[in-house]
Amino acid sequence: MKLLTLVTLSLCLANTALAQQVDLPKLSPNAKVSQTVGLTEISVEYSSPAVRGRKIFGSLVPYDKLWRAGANAVTKVTFSRDVKIDGKPVPAGSYAFFVIPSANQWTLILNKDLGQAGTGAGYKQELDLLRVNVKPKAVAPRERLAYQVIDFDDFHATLALAWEKVRVGLPIDLDTDAQVQASLTSLETDGWRVWNNAARYELESKKDYDAGLTLIEKSLKMKEEWLNVWTKAQLLAAKGKYKEAYPLATRANELGQASPMFFYADDVKKALTEWKNK
């Protein structure tokens, strides 16, 4: 009977202890940021420490020493496709990200060993894929360390790290045009929209109007719609051929009036006014 009473008491105490556990915020919570740039996804997985009234760079984070650029586990940077950094090729994949901060220059490092501890205890420089030297910039105070992909278009981006009053950026170049061209080379479709979308890419992003005209002709041969007619009109206007573009804009307007999805109606109307006497 005493044994049974002791077992029962132990179970009650254990249940009470479990019931009293509380979920608390982590000092350096896990974070992930992801951004598609062109056709490439750039992502960072890291832990985000806070300033909490401390001096960070040159104190908590010493100058001229390797730092995990985060907290807890190693910071991981991933590229879904091949990119270039500082003119050097970086194959698609994931990398450990370290930095060596100093007052006037930071060294940003991509290392191939993702299995190492975040402390850098197992870090081996010979496994660096690359190192890039950049200048730190002064920014408004930021309590928590954060990463962000900034200043991006279809071909370039900057992976920025900001904490305390400092921001540094890793410049990234993307071979989006070659990837698009490879996709077009292997493209076999009878869908007019696909070719129109490709033509609009040449119009809006690459500014290769002759290539765009070649692509839009394939779309028009499949089916005439207000959108692909309007795309051809824009391509010709971009080349300064307004006399050829104007009747196409007129045709696009006629077809568009019969469509519930004439979402470029204002642009077409404006073109009809501006191109008439050019």
Q: What is the pLDDT of residues 45-94, one digit of tens each?
A: 999 999 999 999 999 999 999 999 999 999 999 999 999 999 999 999 99
Residue 191 and residue 160 share a domain: no
Residue 230 and residue 170 share a domain: no
Domain that holds residue 243: 187-274
Residue 233 and residue 98 share a domain: no
Q: What is the CA radius of gyration of the chain?
A: 28
Residue 144 and residue 38 share a domain: yes
Residue 170 and residue 36 share a domain: yes
Confidence band for 242, pLDDT divided at 50, 70 and 90: very high
State yes or no: pLDDT of 107 exceeds 60: yes
Residue 41 and residue 165 share a domain: yes
Q: Hey, CA dihedral for 182, 149, 59, 71, is it positive or negative?
A: negative
Q: What is the mean pLDDT of the chain?
A: 92
Residue 8 in domain:
no
Q: What is the pLDDT of residues 199-239, one digit of tens each?
A: 999 999 889 999 999 999 999 999 999 999 999 999 999 99
Residue 169 and residue 137 share a domain: yes
Task: Choose the final residue of a domain: 149, 175, 201.
Answer: 175
Total domains in the chain come to 2
Question: Residues, the chain, total?
Answer: 278
Residue 195 and residue 166 share a domain: no
Task: Choose the final residue of a domain: 127, 145, 175.
Answer: 175
